[in-house]
């Protein structure tokens, strides 16, 4: 048992090493994710979605909260900024990884967008010029996703199943990286999270990467398709469980269009 434990620990440590994207892969991922999130259009690069209390910025529509605001969802944009700081990317003088969204609400945000204020223009320029860095951040986040998911699971059989399915989606049968599979895992983790936060639940049920891997149909031979179908079921469950005031049904069609890119 001790040997098995040490082997499992070593495997997790090895996997948590950063996934390095080539420039070609980073550009491919950035283009695919940005098409999903903002139809590839500049006007959606700095955005505030209807029915939400936070801004969504960058190719991944990374969540960014105003000062003092809290949500059940993970705030990701400060993590993106921290990553770019590590890579020595030049930032606007007012922005760092601890900076809250500079607009207190949606009305202030759209006033700044319409007026093209200095902060808005500088933020847009940063996001437009760093798309490959944003894709690299998503790869780093994915690097940490499997150990994070495994740590949240107590059942050894369930741990093994999640790990097996993760690799089935990302790898070809010869263990080489499947570029589409890598995109699938990167995109979904960015899109709906790792599935490990207790706050990211409705009625105790999550919809993140962990839940999708758990509910994949083993009979479907195309693992990217199996992942997409499971994701569709998890998101349907989320909509059913969501507070009616959020009106999440309006997102179903767009979410399913996105999931089709995972295998078609």
Three-class SS of residue 33? helix
pTM beyond 0.85, yes or no:
no
Residue 6 has pLDDT above 70, yes or no: no
pLDDT on residue 21: 84
The strands making up 55-57's β-sheet, listed across from edge to edge, are: 46-47, 55-57, 62-64
pLDDT, tens digit (0-9, with 9 covering 90-100), for 109-149: 999 999 999 999 999 999 999 999 999 999 999 989 999 99
At which residue do the structure tokens 């040997």 appear? 3
Instruction: Locate 188 and state its tokens.
Output: 């979904």
pLDDT, tens digit (0-9, with 9 covering 90-100), for 214-262: 999 999 999 999 999 999 999 999 999 999 998 999 999 999 999 999 9
Q: Name which of 258, 192, 186 is nearest 21 in CA terms.
A: 186
Counting residues of the chain whose pLDDT is more than 90, the rounded percentage is 77
Residue 71 has pLDDT above 90, yes or no: no
| Buried/exposed 221-246: b ≥16 CB within 10 Å, e otherwise | eebbbbbbbbbbbbbebbbeebeeee
Q: HSE (CB half, 13 Å, CA atoms) of 129?
A: 11
> What ranges make up the beta strands (E) of the chain?
46-47, 55-57, 62-64
Report the relative pairing of strands 46-47 and 55-57 from DSSP bridges. Answer: antiparallel
pLDDT on residue 18: 62
Report the alpha-carbon angle 184-179-147, nearest 5: 55
């Amino acid at each position: 048992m001790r040997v098995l434990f040490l082997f499992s620990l070593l495997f997790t440590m090895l996997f948590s090493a950063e996934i390095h994207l080539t420039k070609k892969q980073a550009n491919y991922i950035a283009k695919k994710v940005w098409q999903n999130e903002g139809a590839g259009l500049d006007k959606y690069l700095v955005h505030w979605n209807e029915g939400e209390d936070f801004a969504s910025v960058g190719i991944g529509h990374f969540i960014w909260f105003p000062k003092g605001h809290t949500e059940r969802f993970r705030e990701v944009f400060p993590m993106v900024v921290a990553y770019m700081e590590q890579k020595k990317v030049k930032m606007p003088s007012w922005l760092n990884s601890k900076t809250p969204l500079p607009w207190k609400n949606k009305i202030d945000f759209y006033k700044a967008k319409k007026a093209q204020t200095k902060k808005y223009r500088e933020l847009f320029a940063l996001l437009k010029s760093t798309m490959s860095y944003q894709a690299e951040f998503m790869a780093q986040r994915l690097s940490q996703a499997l150990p994070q998911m495994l740590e949240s699971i107590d059942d050894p059989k369930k741990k093994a199943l999640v790990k097996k399915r993760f690799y089935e989606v990302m790898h070809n049968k010869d263990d080489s990286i499947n570029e589409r599979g890598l995109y699938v895992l990167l995109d979904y983790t960015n899109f709906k999270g790792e599935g490990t936060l207790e706050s990211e639940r409705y009625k105790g049920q999550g919809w993140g990467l962990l839940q999708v891997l758990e509910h994949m149909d083993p009979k479907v031979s195309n693992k990217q398709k199996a992942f997409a179908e499971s994701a569709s079921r998890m998101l349907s469950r989320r909509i059913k469980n969501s507070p009616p005031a959020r009106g999440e049904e309006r997102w179903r069609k767009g979410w399913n269009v996105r999931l089709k890119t995972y295998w078609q």
